[in-house]
């Protein structure tokens, strides 16, 4: 559990899953929500399915499980509804930045609101985060900052014209 989380907060978060149109947990959050013990970032497909099944059973209409690592250069994001599942792979950069999960969820929602199908929106969000992280790395003391995405906002505006 995150240091700032209380059991009361976790219980309240669980109550929000039922009826969520799109749920975008990382692995830690998925473990907290489902009660399935955290097993690291390199999960088998069976472990991913267990988390997805549990989150869908809690009432989410669509789950985007993010942050599953494959090797040193790929990050896997899984999309699941009651009727279909898919995997979208993005580039994994060799450094971490704070705020990438929130940025991913925001870019995903922007793409969906612009009319993209969920799988395309997940791919867009992964690329948006990766490009934003690459820009951030060029800044002094980048490892102390959150991810700098402002110069990439034009990509979201372009979605409105597609």
Domain ranges of the chain: 1-92, 94-162
CB 66, CB 101: distance < 8 Å: yes
Joined tokens for residue 54: 């549990």
Integer Cα distance of 46 and 14 in angstroms? 23
Strands in 63-70's sheet, in edge-to-edge order, are 63-70, 74-80, 85-91
pLDDT of residue 1: 64
pLDDT of residue 21: 97
pLDDT of residue 162: 78
The single residue listed with the structure tokens 């979201």 is 156
Determine the topology of domain 1-92 in CATH: 3.40.1190
pLDDT digits (tens, 9 = 90+) for 11-68: 899 999 999 999 999 999 999 999 999 998 888 899 999 999 999 999 999 999 998 9
pLDDT digits (tens, 9 = 90+) for 72-129: 788 999 999 999 999 999 888 888 888 999 999 999 999 999 999 999 999 999 999 9
């Amino acid at each position: 559990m995150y240091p700032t989380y209380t059991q009361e907060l976790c219980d309240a978060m669980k109550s929000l899953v039922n009826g969520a149109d799109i749920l975008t947990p990382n692995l830690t959050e998925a473990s907290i929500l489902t009660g399935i013990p955290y097993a690291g970032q390199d999960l088998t497909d069976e472990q991913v399915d267990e988390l997805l099944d549990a989150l869908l059973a809690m009432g989410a209409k669509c789950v985007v499980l993010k942050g599953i690592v494959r090797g040193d250069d790929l990050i896997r994001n899984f999309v699941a509804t009651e009727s279909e599942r898919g995997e979208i792979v993005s580039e994994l950069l060799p450094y971490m930045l704070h705020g990438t999960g929130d940025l991913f969820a925001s870019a995903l929602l922007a793409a969906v609101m612009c009319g993209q199908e969920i799988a395309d929106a997940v791919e867009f969000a992964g690329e948006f985060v990766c490009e934003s992280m690459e820009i951030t790395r060029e800044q002094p003391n980048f490892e102390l900052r959150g991810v700098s995405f402002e110069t990439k906002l034009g990509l979201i505006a372009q979605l409105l014209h597609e």
